[in-house]
Amino acid sequence: MKELNKKENGLIKDLAFGYSIYTTFLIFSYLMGMVEMKLVNFLSLLTFIWAGNLLYYIIATTKINDKLNKPDMFIPLLVWSIFCIIFPTYFMTSTLRSIFLMNYFLVVIFGVFRLNLKQFVSLTIFAVLLLGFVLVFIVKNKPATQVDIYNELLLWGMFSLTAFSFAVICSNISTLRQKLKEQKLEILNAFSDIHKLSITDELTGIYNRRYIMDFIANKKLKADKGLDKFIACMIDIDHFKKINDTYGHDVGDIVLKKFSQEINNLIRHDDCFARVGGEEFILILSHIDIEIAKDVLERIMNKIRKIDFDGYPNLKITLSAGMSPYIKDMSIEDLLKNIDNLLYQAKNSGRNKYMI
């Protein structure tokens, strides 16, 4: 048997509870003499109704539903439930029939969260026609002394009018709920977009200073507990001001974008690369030692040296970096100050290199 989700499980529990009350009501009505049928026929009717419920449960909870390409079983369930309410009214007294038909509205209200106007109207037409057939057979087969045809017509008319009105109301509620659901999704998407904008550098598309600082703080918490280790790098594009002065700021923006994309493509999912200033970046390398981090940084530097910029064959860029492992209980300020000083040393000693 397959595992049901909460919605399906709740529906089946509601179904079992509802039909238990339904059965109790029928038995009580039979004992009160308001259901006009022999005992064996009455028991056959109850057996037939519960067999239909059991069939639904088997289809919904076994691989049969998968073999049927998982059809929506909700509407067939409503159709069956409507049938189980209207068909037995043939055997009831006129007074009980009027009361029993109110159960129809309890069934239809389950569709408020799932059905549209067309589906509500279709179910209503089915119920009205079915009740019409039942009343025709009552008038045709029962003695005239037991049937008041005008009362039965009035019952059918009032039921039809109420049922169609109820369908429209339920449809409006369903539509309103769907709109609220869509609005909620739009709000959630808007919050997601706002959050993404708040942690993303607008020009390069990589993370910004806000995100990298939170990332480092989380890394520090884990590292202080002995659950993680990481290497921090401060990276700067060499002679970036000269690039802006020579080629213009538009080309400078292209350089920043290309530089960021190339490095972002080289690092792992657990690493983090962010722009923290004009041409300054921070790279966090996770779960590695300093020797491996050196190899990673050298690969990045070699890749950056080979970048070609379309339309600018003479434009080449290099980077300088300061790199330091995080030491347990070190403050974030000290870590950043350390890699910033190392970057300064790398730039003062000729650029195109890194210091540890």
Amino acid at residue number 200: T
Angle subtended by helix axes 117-141 and 74-86, to nearest 10: 20
- Phi/psi region, residue 201 (left: phi>0; alpha: psi -120 to 50; beta: rest), is beta
- Phi/psi region, residue 312 (left: phi>0; alpha: psi -120 to 50; beta: rest), is beta
Choosing from 279, 280, 291, 298, the catalytic residue is 279
Q: Which residues are CB-neighbours of 247 under 8 A, at least 6 positions away?
A: 312, 315
Q: What angle do CA 315, 318, 320 make, to 5 degrees?
A: 155
Active-site residue 279, yes or no? yes
Q: Look at residues 269, 215, 247 and name the one whose alpha carbon lies nearest to residue 258.
A: 247
Instruction: Strand 280-286: give its sheet, edge to edge.
Output: 272-275, 280-286, 230-237, 319-325, 354-355
As annotated, the active-site residues are: 279
